[in-house]
Structure 1
C-alpha cells in the first residue's frame, strides 16, 4: 500500500503538470486573504441551513485556501494555533498533538473537541488514548477550506464534542478541469509530493482526486526515517437531472507512520531548562531511538511473541468509504443522508520516560540492595563490582570504576517501552430532514430533525515494559551485570535491558452502539436569528477485558539468571471480566444573533453538553476487587466511567468596516466530574492514582484583521482566560518520603493550560511583476505561563515561535514557496512530564519535558492549473 500511495501521488503530480489553463491569477483574486474575516462566506457547519458567517450564532474561525497555504501547517496542532480559544501543544510531531479548549484540562489528547472530514468524524469515538483523531484526519492540499466551531452548537451536531469541532472540507469537481501539484523538501531530509485534480465526467457528474506522500527524518532526527507514508482521497458527485439533489461517493486510504516526541531528560529547572551534559540536546535531541534501543523482542510470553520497533511510531492504516445523498422532496422539505464505513488499525510504539535521569551507580546499588543475597559476591573489599553493557550486543560500555564519567553524565533513566495496538471498524449514519417555512409570523423557520447512529467493534492491546537506557544523543538500552572478584559474571540485574519496576498490560475487546436523535430550530425575523437545539444520546457498550497476571521472566525465557529471572512482567491471565453498560445524556442549547447593520452583529449562546466515556474507561473493570464493585460498574454507577458534563455561555460581536474587521467572544466554560487516571512515579514505578476535577474558566477570544495598506495586511488571533479548579477535593500525591499526602488545588490553574495564548500574522503582496506575483508573510505564535502540575509548583514559562515565508507565482501557475518554522529557534517547554508528578512535580536536578520543535526550512515548488 505504501508503494501504491507513493506512485499514485507522483502519477497525479505528473498528470497535473502537463496542462494548465491560466487559473492561478483567477484563484488569487477569488481566494485572496480576506480583510473582513470571511463574514460573507457561506457556512455549512453547525447550522440548520447554509448562511453567511455574519448571520451565524456560533463563534467560529474559517480558513480559505490561501490562508492555509500561508500558514503551511504540517500538523493539525499547528493549524489549531490559529484558532482562538483552542490551545495547542504541537510538539508531538506531525500527529498525536494535544488540544485544550477554553481552559479545560485534558486526560487524553483532544478530549472535548472533534475533527470532521466533510461533516462527519472519520471514527466516531475518536480520542482513544494514543489513537487520537489527528492520527487519521490529516491535512493536505486536498482540503479546500476549514471551518472551526468553538462551543456553540457543537454539542448538538457532534456527539461528545462539547467544546467545539473542526471540519475539513474536501475539494469537489467543477465543470472545468483544475488542479495543483507540488514537491517539497526541508532541512530534515524531507521529500514529499502533494497533488489534486478535479473536473467533470459529464454534464451531471464531477470528480476530485488527490494524494500525498512524504518521508523524512522529522525535526528531531532519531537516527532513521521517522516519517513515511501517504494518503489517497477521491470523490465523485452526481447531480440529479431534475436539479433537486445529488449523491456523492467518497474514498480515503491512508498508510502512514510518524514519529512521536515525548518529554526528554533535561537539567536545571522548568524555568531554566538546559541540556544534560553528554545527553540529548534540548534543541534537536530525542529519546531512546538508537538501533539497539528501538527494538524489543520477547518470545514465548503468556501473550505470545512480542516484537516491537520504535521506528513504527504513530502508525495508521485507515480506509474509509462513504456516501452522501441530498434530495429536495418539495419546496419545504430537504432530506440528507450521510453514511461512512471506516476500517482502522493504529499502533503507538514509543519510549516514554517513567522517571528522571539518575546516577547509574545509584541504580546498580539499588539493584544490589534488593538482591543482596544472590549478589553477595559482587561486594569486593566494600566496593560493588559491575559492568554497564549494551543490552543488544552485551558489549561493555562502562564499569563500576568509570561509570561516573560514562557519557559525561554517568546517568541512566527508566524508559518505558510502550506499545498500544487498536484495531476496529466503525459504521456511522446520519439522516437529516430540514423543513423550511417561509411565513411564520413575520419571519422564517428552519428546522432540522436528525438521527445519528454508530456501531464500533474494537480491540485494544497494551504492553508497557520498563527498560534502562543511557542518557546521550541516541540512547542505548543497558544491562547491569554484577561480577565477582575475578571478573566473572554472577548475575544481571536486568534482562535485555528490562528492569524491575513499572510495567503494564491490557487487552480488551468491545462493542459500542450510539443512538442519537437531535433537533435544531432557527427562526429568522428581519435581522434577528433565534436558535434552539437538543441532542439525546444513548451509548451502549459491552465486551470483555482480560485480567492481568504476574509472570517471572524465567517462566517463559530460558536464558535468565538468579536475579533477572525474578523480574516480574504482567501479561494476560486468560480469564476475562465481561461488562455491559449504558449511558443516556441530553445536550441542549439556545442562542441568538442580531445584525445591527451591514457592518456589525452581536450574538449570544448558552450550551449544556457532555463527553461520553470511552474504551480506556471500560478497562477500569479489571481493577475492581469485589463483586459489588463489578456490579456497580455494569449498572453504570462507577464514577470513573460516568460521562463528563460541561456548560458554556458566550456573548460576542462581529464587526467589519473599511480596513478593520473584528470577531470578539467572551465565554464562561465549566466542566464537572473530569476523570484523570493520574500517573505518578513511586519508587521507580508508575502508580495510577484516580482523581476527579471540576474546572471553571472566564475568557475572551478575539480575531482581528487590518488592511494597513493596499498590499499589507495584519491579523491577530488571541485568547485571555482565567482557568481554575473549583469544588475539587484535595489532590493526593506521593511525597518525597514515599507516603501518600494531599494538597489543596482549588483556585489553581489546570495543568498545562495558559492564561493567554495566540498568534499574530502579517503578509505583504507586492505589485504584480511582468512575470507574476510575489508576497511575504510571517506569524508569531505564543503560549503564556502554564504549570506542569496541579499544585502549580513547576512553572512552564511563556514562549513564542516566529515563522516566515516567501511565495512567488507566475501567470502560468508555476509557484515557489519558502518557509521557515521557529526562526528564532525557541526552546520553549510545551509540557512537563505527565508521568513524574502531575499533582506535585517534585523536581530534582533532572526532570523531563517536551520541547518545541527546532528551526526547520522548507522549500516547495508547484504548479496550479
Structure 2
C-alpha cells in the first residue's frame, strides 16, 4: 500500500519550510544537522537527508536568525566546500566552490528562488545572482547541495546550487514584524504575514526596506532600498495538487567595496599614512571623485555617479502547478518571467599607489615637446589640482610631502548597465513505480534578451581618507598654465568600452532516476543542454578627447578614450553539452549512511565572451595576432574564448546522527578544464592583459559536525580542507624588477585566492525559561586559511579569523529583542588580493591593493511574532 504520493512528499516539505517556529522545526533544530529533515533539492523524490545521494546543507529560519547574515556570501560561509569572499558588501560577493578559481563572481554555483533562478544567466559580470536573490525573513528554508545532481537540475552550475524557499500560508494567520538598527546608522524594517483566504487558498506576503552608511562609510547613504515578495497558493479540491502564483519586486542600491591601497606587505598590511584607513576606508567617496560627466561623446552624454553602486530594479512573476493525474504520475510545471535593469558603478583601482611626482614626470616625458616650457632650469614646474574645482593642492616643490604620502593611484571609473528580460519554463513528469523506482523527465527552456553597456575610464585619484580626483597642470616660469596632463582627472592609459545586444535560447531535456532496494538508493541523472546565442557587438575606436570636448589643450586633448563607431559585428553561436551523474546511498542503520557519486558537468559561455568579437580580426588580416582567435573561429564556435568549461566531480561520504550528535563528512575530487582567465602576459616586452586557459584539480574533505554538549549547550563545525592546484597549464610570463622577461611553471601552484582550509565554528546556549521569556546566546568564529594573490604563489594572503556574537530574548507572547556583533575582534584580514593590479608573478611592492574584512558592527532588532 502506497504511503506517500509525489504530491504528498512535496506538501510535506512545503509545510516544513512554512512553519519554522513551530514544534516540528524546533525538533529538527535540536537534532543538529537535521538528518531526518525532508529535502527537495536535487532529487526525483523528496526524502530525508540521511537517505539522500547528495552532499546537502540546510538552514531553517531559526538557524538563519542566529547567523544573521547580511549577504548571501555571509550565509555561504556556513556551507562546507564553498568558500565565500563576503567583503564586497551586501551584494556582489564571490563564491569559489571546491577549489575552483573564479574568473567572475560565482560562475560555478547557482542561486535559485523557489526552485528556479531569478535570471537564468546567473553570473554576468557585475550582474550576478546574489544581487537579485536576497536573504530575508520571508525565506523560510534554504537547501544547498555541493556537486551532486547540480548539473542535472541547474544549468551551468556543476559545483552546486542553493535554493531559497519562501514562506507559504497555512490555515492559521502567522507573521513576524521587525525593526532594526546598527552602528552604521541603519534604519530598517522587515516582516511577513501569511494565512488562509479560504479552505483551499492561502497567501503569504513579506518585504524589507533599509538604509545605512555601510561598514565603510563613504560619506553618503550607501545602502538604500527594499523588496516585496508574495505568493498565493490554491489546493485542488480533490487533493490532486496545487497551483501557486508568485510575485517579487526589488528596487535597491548597495555599496560595493573594492580592493583599497595599502602598504607594508600582504602578510602585514598597513594604512598608507594620510590615506584611507585599513579598517573603515573606502575609495572614490569625495564629492569631486564620485561623479564623472562627459558630454557629446561618440556614444552620447555620459553621466556616472558612484552613489548608485550596485543598483537593481527587478520584477518577476510566475506560477508553479502540480497535478497528480493518476497511476502514480505527476506533472509539475513552473514558469517565471523576469524584467531586470541593473547597473554597477564603482571606482576600481587598476594600478598601485605611487608618487605623484613620478606620474608628473612620466606625462612630461611622453609630451616633452608640448610641455618644454614647464622645464624651468632643472625643475619641472606643475601643480596638483582638484579636478572639477581647479583648486591648487600642491606643486612640484611640496608634492612629495602633500597629504603626508604624496601619492596618487590609477582609479578606473567603471560602469556597467544591463537591461534585459528572461522567460523560463521547467516542465517535469514524475512517476513512482511500485514505490521503488522514482523517475523525473524534464524539459527546461529559457529565452533571455539582454543589452550590456560598459564604460571603463582611467582616472587619477589621491590617496586620502576621502580620495579626490586630481589634475596635473604644467606651468611656465611666470606661473602661467601651459597644459594639463589630465582632463578632469582622466589620464592616458587603460580604458574600455563595450556595447552589445544579445539573445540566448536554452533547451535542456533532463532525466533523473532513483531506485530504492531496501536501504540502498541508486541514482542516475543526465542533462543535455543546447545554447543558441545571437546578437550584435558594437565595434569600438579610440577618440581624442578634443574631438568631442571644447575645453581641452595641446596635451589632454590628445588623450584617447574608446567609444562605439556605430558599426556592429554580429554573432550566431551554438553549443551543445551533456552532463551526467551516478550515485548510491546505503543506509547502514537508522543512524549511519554512506554515499558515493560521480558527476560530469559544464559551464556555458556568457555575454562577456560574446563581446570579445569586436576586437577580433579576420584570418587573412596580417595585423592579427597569430595566437589570437580569428572572427571565423569565433563564429564557428571554435574559439577558446567561448568554449564551455568542463568539470568532473567525485564524492564519497558518510552521515551519522544519533541522539545529540550528528556528522556529515564528504571526501571529494574536483577538476575543471579550459578555465578562461584574463591575465597579465608579456607581449613585445610590455605587460598586456590577455586570455589564458588553465586547468585545475582539487582533492578535499568537507565536514559538518553538530553536538548537544549538555542541556541547552550546542556546538557545530563546518570545515573544509583541500589541496587545489593548477595542472596541464602553460608557463606564465612576467617582467622582473630589472625589466627582464621570464617565465614560471605554475603547475602544482595553488590557484589565486583559493584557500587550503576554511570553515566556521558555532555555539549557542538556550537558557531555561525565565519570567521574562526564553533567552539564548550564540557565537560563531569564521576563518579562511592561507591564499595567494598571484598565480606563482609569491604574494601570500595570510589566514584570518572573525568572531561574531549574538543574544536574544523572546517572551511567551512573541515579543523579542536581539543584538549582534559582527567581527568583534575587528580582524583586518585580507579576503582578496587585487585581481587587476600586478603581474602574474606579483612579488611584493611598496604599495598594493586588497579588500579587507568589514569592521566591527553592532546591530539591534526588536520585533513581534504572531
Q: What is residue 169 of structure 2 aligned with on the other side? A: 173
Partners of 2:319 and 2:737 in 1: CA distance: 58
CA distance in 2, matches of 1:737, 1:517: 57
Residues 686 and 835 in structure 1, CA contact (< 8 A), matched pair in contact too: no
Contact 2:452–2:501 (CA under 8 A) maintained in structure 1: yes
Unaligned runs of 5+ in 1: 1-22
CA distance in 2, matches of 1:815, 1:681: 61
What residue is the counterpart of 2:339 in the other structure?
343
- Residue 857 of structure 2 corresponds to which residue in structure 1? 856
Match of 1:755 in 2: 756
Aligned: 1:186 with 2:186: no
- Candidates 104, 122, 140, aligned match of 1:126: 122
* 1:335 CA drift (Å): 0.1
1:843 offset after TM fit, Å? 2.7
Counterparts of residues 48-87 of structure 1 (less than 5 Å): 48-87=44-83
* Alignment equivalent of 1:313, drawn from 309, 312, 316: 309
Can you list the C-alpha shifts for 1:569-622, whole angstroms capped at 9, x where unaligned?
000011111110100000000000000000000000000000000001111211
Aligned to 1:208: 204
Q: How far apart are the structure 2 equivalents of 1:647 and 1:733?
A: 31
Distance between the aligned counterparts of 1:24 and 1:668, measured in 2?
35
Could you say which residue in structure 2 is the equivalent of 1:847? 848
Q: Does 1:360 align with 2:360?
A: no
- Mapped pair 1:147 → 2:143: yes
The answer (yes or no) to whether the contact 1:681–1:837 under 8 Å persists in 2 is no
1:377-526 map, 5 Å: 377-438=373-434, 444-526=436-518
Separation in 2, partners of 1:686, 1:507: 26
CA contact (8 A) 2:381 2:474 kept: yes
The residue aligned with 1:293 is 289
Q: 1:343 deviation in Å?
A: 0.5
Q: Match for residue 40 of structure 2?
A: 44
Distance 1:718 1:150, change over 3 A: same
Match status 1:101 vs 2:102: no
State how many pairs are aligned: 839
CA contact (8 A) 1:743 1:791 kept: yes
Q: 1:9 is matched with which residue? A: none
Q: Which residue of 2 aligns with 1:6?
A: none
RMSD between aligned residues:
1.6
- Does residue 594 (structure 1) correspond to residue 607 (structure 2)? The answer is no
Partner of 1:647: 648
Q: What is aligned with 1:554?
A: 546
SS at match of 2:65: helix
Give 1:861 shift: 0.5
Displaced runs of 4 or more, over 6 A: 680-686
| TM-score, normalising length: structure 2 | 0.95
Q: CA deviation at 1:679?
A: 5.3
The residue correspondences of 1:766-777 to structure 2 (distance < 5 A) are 766-777=767-778
1:706-751 deviation line (CA, Å, top 9, x unaligned): 1001100000000000000011111234444556542210000000
CA distance in 1, matches of 2:242, 2:25: 29
Alpha-carbon separation, structure 2, partners of 1:457 and 1:682: 37
Tell me which residue corresponds to 1:619: 611
Q: Distance in 2 between matches of 1:838 and 1:89?
A: 22
CA deviations over 1:192-248 (Å, ceiling 9, x no partner): 000100001000000000010000000000110000000000000001111101000
Residue 657 (structure 1) shift:
1.4
1:658 match: 659
SS at match of 2:30: coil
Change in Cα spacing, 1:677 to 1:648, as seen in structure 2 (3 Å) is same
Residue of structure 2 in register with 1:673 after alignment:
674
**Offset from partner CA, 1:782-833 (integer Å, 9 cap, x none):** 0000000000000000000000000000011000000000000000001111
CA distance in 2, matches of 1:470, 1:395: 14
- Is 1:831 the counterpart of 2:832 in the alignment? yes
1:311 alignment partner, SS class:
helix
C-alpha displacement of 1:841 = 1.5
- Report if the CA contact (8 A) 2:212-2:221 is conserved: yes
1:25 to partner: Cα distance: 7.5
Q: Confirm or deny: 8 A CA contact 2:519 2:588 kept in the other structure.
A: yes
CA deviations 1:33-63 (Å, max 9, x no partner) are: 3334111111111000111111100001000
Report the Cα offset of residue 684 of structure 1: 14
Q: Which residue of 2 aligns with 1:217?
A: 213
Q: What is the SS of the residue equivalent to 1:597?
A: coil
Aligned-partner Cα distance in 1 for 2:254–2:187: 14
SS of alignment partner, residue 367 of structure 1: helix
Q: Does 1:326 align with 2:322?
A: yes
The answer for the alignment partner of 1:817 in structure 2 is: 818
| Residues 383, 393 of structure 2: 8 Å contact kept | yes
Measured in 2, the distance between the counterparts of 1:857 and 1:721 equals 34
Residue 612 of structure 2: SS of its match in structure 1?
Answer: helix
In 1, Cα distance between the equivalents of 2:617 and 2:109? 34
The answer on whether the counterparts of 1:654 and 1:664 sit within 8 Å (CA) in structure 2 is: yes
Give 1:658 shift: 2.3
Q: Which residue does 2:631 correspond to in 1?
A: 630
Q: Is the 8 A contact 2:794 2:841 kept in 1?
A: yes
Change (3 A) 1:150 1:321: same
Query: Retained in 2: the 8 A contact 1:31–1:66?
Result: no
Q: Match of 2:225? A: 229
CA contact (8 A) 1:323 1:339 kept: yes
- Give 5+ residue unaligned stretches, structure 2: 1-18, 621-629
Q: TM-score, normalised to structure 1's length?
A: 0.95
Q: Measure, in 2, the Cα distance between the counterparts of 1:519 and 1:270.
A: 48
Structure 1 residues 838 and 780 mapped into 2: Cα distance closer, same or farther (>3 Å)? farther
Q: Please say if 1:780 is aligned against 2:781.
A: yes
Q: Check the 8 A contact 1:205/1:238 in 2, yes or no.
A: yes
CA distance in 2, matches of 1:508, 1:422: 10
Kept in 2, the 8 Å contact 1:389–1:481? The answer is yes
Q: Is the 8 A contact 1:361 1:404 kept in 2?
A: yes
Distance in 2 of aligned mates of 1:216 and 1:505:
32
Give distance in 2, aligned partners of 1:31 and 1:802.
Answer: 28
What's the CA shift for 1:681?
11
Question: 1:793 corresponds to which residue?
Answer: 794
CA distance in structure 2 between the aligned counterparts of 1:76 and 1:683, rounded to whole angstroms: 43
Offset, 1:26? 4.3
Distance 2:109 2:232 in 1: 29
C-alpha distance in 2 between matches for 1:619 and 1:340: 27
Matched, 1:91 2:87: yes
Once residues 427 and 130 of structure 1 are traced to their aligned partners in structure 2, the CA distance between those partners, rounded to angstroms, is 21
Q: Residue 352 and residue 693 in structure 1: after superposition, are their counterparts in 2 closer, same or farther (change >3 A)?
A: same
Q: Which SS does the other structure have where 1:636 is aligned? A: coil
Q: Distance in 1 between matches of 2:687 and 2:425?
A: 41
